[in-house]
Structure 1
Amino acid sequence: MDWQPEIPRWRQVYALVEERIDSGMYPPGTRLPSAHDLVVETGIGQVTAKRVLRELRQSGLAYMEPGIGTFVARLPEPPTGG
């Protein structure tokens, strides 16, 4: 990854995962990469990777199934006009 030194790394990895969710690369119900997978892919530390997953859950973008993994949450349907 090309790191932006003025932005914390956890935020940059969070933005990467969020972009993948928004683009449909990780559709609702899809298992997200584990903390270990994020470490391997991005080179961040284990503590930072765990923070990314925790922040995704706290923001409502993901949920955890204990012992299984972290998954993309079902996103609300966009409002319909009319």
Structure 2
Amino acid sequence: MSNPDLDRSRPVWRQIASVIVGRIESGEYAPGTRTPSVVEISTEWDVAVSTAQKVLAHLKTTGYVRAEVGIGTFVADEPPESR
């Protein structure tokens, strides 16, 4: 999937989070599957690691993903839209 150009006049982390939520909602990232890591997000979107960390923190706070320390981040079994 090609990435849309990011609008640098808006918070980049929110735009990336929105794309990942779209991938979750479309089933591209199925419940229980691993999401891209901080490094993978940073590389895919050409953003700082701190920006990628903010993306995953937001997705965790909003209930789209769950983190397992030392293992990775996974799509929540019941993402918010299906609760």
TM-score by length of 2: 0.87
Moved over 2 A (4+): 76-79
RMSD: 1.7
Pick the structure with greater CA Rg. Answer: 1
The correspondence of residues 1-82 of structure 1 with structure 2, limited to 5 A, is 1=3, 2-75=5-78, 78=82
Number of aligned pairs?
79
Change (3 A) 1:8 1:59: same
Fraction of identical pairs, as percent: 42
Q: Which whole-Å CA distance do the structure 1 matches of 2:82 and 2:40 have between them?
A: 31
Which stretches in structure 1 are left out of the alignment for 5+ residues? none
Q: Which whole-Å CA distance do the structure 1 matches of 2:31 and 2:82 have between them?
A: 14
Which stretches in structure 2 are left out of the alignment for 5+ residues? none
Q: Which whole-Å CA distance do the structure 2 matches of 1:8 and 1:78 have between them?
A: 27
